[in-house]
């Protein structure tokens, strides 16, 4: 796992969450349902992207010697949180589409959940202890 792979796995979901939340807010303020629908679709696509990185990204959760979680472990847990948020986004989109009464409550809670997940991705991407386990052997100096 290289730092570029970790960078991509943190950057794409973070921007997807940002764009999705902004689109939903713009759709609510402008009373345009197309923007709101598009925002929910972006959040669902972001969740699927995070799920893809978790399942097929090659990230392995390894514990550090001092007992603290590695950056890859934090990335995996945040990816699963984003996937869970995707389920909330799907339910919110369906409730919005069928105009169910409690849509507003679920929408606010889902947006809050994704906003918190956005900041967790920020914390993972700004982590200074970048210890990445790779399968590539390094050269040893004699």
Q: What are phi and psi of 7, to 5 degrees?
A: -65, -45
What's the pLDDT at 101? 94
Helix (H) or strand (E) holding 81: helix 71-97
Measured CA to CA, the distance from residue 26 to residue 36 in angstroms comes to: 7
CB 92 within 8 A of CB 110: yes
Q: What is the pLDDT of residue 87?
A: 98
C-alpha distances in Å from residue 121, one per residue of 7, 30, 70, 85: 10, 29, 14, 14
pLDDT at 130: 46
What does the block give as tokens for 45? 């696509």
If DSSP codes are grouped into helix, strand and coil, which group holds residue 29?
helix
Q: Which whole-number Å values give the CA distances from 62 to 11, 24, 98, in the listed order?
A: 21, 37, 44
pLDDT of residue 80: 95
pLDDT 10s per residue in the chain (142 long)? Answer: 556 667 888 889 999 999 999 999 999 999 999 999 999 999 999 999 999 999 998 777 776 677 777 788 888 999 999 999 999 999 999 999 999 999 999 999 999 999 999 999 998 888 755 444 445 555 665 5
Helix ranges, 98-136 (H): 103-125
Per DSSP, the three-state class of 10 is helix
Which token pair is 15? 């921007």
pLDDT at position 73, please?
86
């Amino acid at each position: 796992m290289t730092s570029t792979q970790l960078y991509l796995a943190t950057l794409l979901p973070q921007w997807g969450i940002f764009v999705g939340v902004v689109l939903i807010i713009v759709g609510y303020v402008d009373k345009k349902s197309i923007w709101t629908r598009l925002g929910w679709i972006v959040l669902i696509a972001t969740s699927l992207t995070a799920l893809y990185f978790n399942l097929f990204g090659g990230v392995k959760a390894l514990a550090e010697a001092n007992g603290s979680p590695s950056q890859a472990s934090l990335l995996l847990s945040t990816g699963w949180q984003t996937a869970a948020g995707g389920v909330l986004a799907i339910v919110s989109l369906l409730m919005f589409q069928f105009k169910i009464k409690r849509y507003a409550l679920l929408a606010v809670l889902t947006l809050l959940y994704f906003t918190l997940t956005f900041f967790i991705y920020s914390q993972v991407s700004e982590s200074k202890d970048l210890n990445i386990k790779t399968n590539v052997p390094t050269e040893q100096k004699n």
